[in-house]
A and B are shown apart, each in its own frame.
Chain A
Amino acid sequence: MTDFQQLCGRFLEDSDSLSEDEVAALIAALEQAPSLAEQLRTQLTIDELLRQRRPSERGDFLAQVRQRIDDYQHGEEELERRTVELRQLAMRQLGAPSHRTRGVSAALVLATSAALLLAVAAGLYWLADGNSPSARLANVAGIVSLVRDGRTLSAERLGELAPGDTLVSGPVGSAEIVFDDGTTVRLAADTVLSLQKSGGKHIQLSQGELLADVSRQARGQPMIFRTSTAEATVLGTRLRLQAAPLATALEVMEGAVEMRSLAADGAESRVITEGQIAYASQGGVVAHSAAWPLERQGLLFLWPEAGGEGLVRFAESGAMAPLERLSRRGRRTGGALAAPLKKSAALSLEVIYRAADADSDISAPEPLVQFLDERERAVCELSQSGGWLWWRSPTPVGVREYQLAPALPGVTSHLAITADADGWQAFQNGQRVFQSADRLSPPALWPVETIELAIHPGAEKGRRAALLGVAVYDRALSADLALASSRRMPLEPSPAEGSSNTPAMSGAP
């Protein structure tokens, strides 16, 4: 047998079994003799034709194509509907008079039905020049439209932004506004945001969410964010602001912020510190520690567990939960941990993990969470492979593997999957990353009544991706709840990696 034939044989059987040097040798051989390329191609082609003759392959492919087309149609309709809604909202917004102009007195601010005032605790000042700041658009991803002078333009090719511009991101769109002083404002999906014509960094958030990293501003000219019910004045901090019809949510990732609700007379201000999330509504201001899970109804399994007001606080859980912590409910299986789960009609799964860092070389799948049958075979599996998270699950047309979301190297991410008989969705760090109308209800399709949940925390020898938290529910979380929960992050990185005051949220895209 020639070297070439040996390499071909192994490549056909398992292409990943060849070392880098062997693949290089194969390529060198093909380059030197084009007839060998033809031979290899023939071998691969015949191999596939023979594979297709398997009884398990016949008929499956056509059904899978039909399913994919169904998914595609469903996704397109949803995307179109939501984009139209957002554009309509943006046009209405443009037609409405501006709420306020720069320099409005505190008395006027107090007169609004609900307002939020934020001021960084540190005394920071800004350089007022009265001119509109220069801003440009960067890192546009997915569908983002720009409405300028009543015309809708694709944002992808635009650079400089002008006062009065409105940006509309679709269900999977995002973009960054970068100001000349380094301040960045990142639009999340489903967001409508306008640059006000008031001279300073004034942004109207009509819907959705933004993440701001505000450089130190000059005294007297703070950056101002407005929603329909609130106003946030910022001198320099990192924050996340979400606008809803009746409330505004603020999360402070850096610095300390004073927040005051003016909805009710005599409302007292509260200082929101780093790592807290606060909600302002007519009921006043309520602040919580940023923790997860947001929801406990239907919660079957939670790892790690920690005491205190029903919240899991990663900052208090030591090295992201010692393995023994789970032993009260589950059992140890090799390096993994397992607990029994009952069959049910729906399932939700939340996973917080840190993907392998950029220097790691992950091409073989590394399971994070597995659902095992009585023979310990994985019925469903969430794994990381090749820089992506994969979800393998049974469907009525057979087991399918879905490429869910990027596993960003070294970044801590929160993935929330919710599934019932109508389909399933996945959210990552506050964005929907996957939607399928597959009739996928993993628990209903489980072959046995009770199934084992196995998690791989990353303590096993040789593993590179780290699992930081898992929550499993026997019901489908609503899309809104799953989306919101997927924004929750550990407050601090694992002490095992060296303590740092930088919140893990900073790693969120």
Chain B
Amino acid sequence: MQRLAANHFEAIVRDTHVHLRAYIAGLGVTGHDVDDLAQDVYIELYRNLNRIPDDVPVERWLKGIARNLSMNFFRRRARRGRLHRQALVRLLASSDDPWTTADGDLQAALEGCLERLPAESRRLVDLRYERELPSADIARKLNCSAEAVRVSLFRIRARLKQCITRHLAELQS
């Protein structure tokens, strides 16, 4: 059994929270619920520090707990959409996790890829994620439709994914 000291716990949180939160979001949990669920996962880790089998990597254990808690989260929700959301989690969880890498590498890759974006795309990312503007407001600023903003963001995210994957592959090689 792994005997992890309490201060080791903090190190695990520091090293894994970026990826874990992204993993939870990838299961269809949105907004502040992502952080709440991630915190719940770490509470479970704290409670079970000494019970994680040696042959199970902590990251994998965390993801397993995150998947279960996400299912429970949607189970507890109001009846409206509960079954659909549970089905969505199952479908998303059955697809491949985009990356299994250290938080530091992932963040570095993301920053590098953002820098390589064209200026227009970068501006769109800033408006959406730095200034937290909804698509409708961005559309008004850019004199286009909200649908056009959404499709642009969709493509930018897809492009970032390819770039990050390539970047991480280069790092590993």
Enumerate chain A residues within 8 angstroms of B132, measured Cβ to Cβ.
Answer: 54
Contact B157 A46 (CB under 8 A): yes
Please tell me if A41 contacts chain B, counting CB pairs below 8 Å: yes
A52 to B132, CA, bound (A): 12
Please tell me if B64 contacts chain A, counting CB pairs below 8 Å: no
Contact B18 A49 (CB under 8 A): yes
Chain B 1-53 interface residues, beta-carbon cutoff 8 Å to A = 9-10, 13-14, 17-18, 21-28, 30, 32, 34-36, 38-39, 42-43, 46-47
Contact B161 A42 (CB under 8 A): yes
| Residue from the set B13, B129, B134 with the largest chain A CB neighbour count within 10 Å | B129
Please tell me if A361 contacts chain B, counting CB pairs below 8 Å: yes
Contact B157 A47 (CB under 8 A): yes
Enumerate chain A residues within 8 angstroms of B58, measured Cβ to Cβ.
Answer: none
Please tell me if B168 contacts chain A, counting CB pairs below 8 Å: no
Contact B92 A40 (CB under 8 A): yes
Please tell me if A139 contacts chain B, counting CB pairs below 8 Å: no
Chain A 41-76 interface residues, beta-carbon cutoff 8 Å to B = 41-54, 61-62, 64-66, 68-69, 72
Chain A 158-187 interface residues, beta-carbon cutoff 8 Å to B = none
Please tell me if B125 contacts chain A, counting CB pairs below 8 Å: yes
Contact B14 A62 (CB under 8 A): yes
Q: Chain B interface secondary structure, helix, strand, loop or mixed?
A: helix
Q: Chain A interface secondary structure, helix, strand, loop or mixed?
A: helix
Contact B18 A52 (CB under 8 A): yes
Interface size class of B (residues with CB under 8 A): 35 or more
Please tell me if B150 contacts chain A, counting CB pairs below 8 Å: yes
Please tell me if A10 contacts chain B, counting CB pairs below 8 Å: yes
A51 to chain B, nearest CB (A): 6
Contact A363 B77 (CB under 8 A): yes
Interface size class of A (residues with CB under 8 A): 35 or more
Chain B's closest residue to A1 (CB) is: B151
Residue of A39, A49, A54 touching B158 (CB-CB under 8 A): A39
A-B residue pairs in contact (CB < 8 Å), sample of 18? A1-B147, A1-B154, A9-B135, A14-B134, A27-B87, A41-B26, A41-B27, A41-B97, A41-B98, A43-B154, A43-B158, A48-B22, A50-B110, A50-B129, A50-B157, A54-B132, A61-B38, A68-B42
Apart from A48-B22, A61-B21, 7 more pairs, CB < 8 Å: A1-B147, A37-B94, A42-B158, A62-B14, A65-B42, A68-B39, A363-B80
- Measured CB to CB, the residues of B under 8 A from A are 9-10, 13-14, 17-18, 21-28, 30, 32, 34-36, 38-39, 42-43, 46-47, 76-81, 84-85, 87-88, 91-92, 94-98, 106-107, 110, 125, 128-130, 132, 134-135, 147-148, 150-151, 153-154, 157-158, 160-161, 164
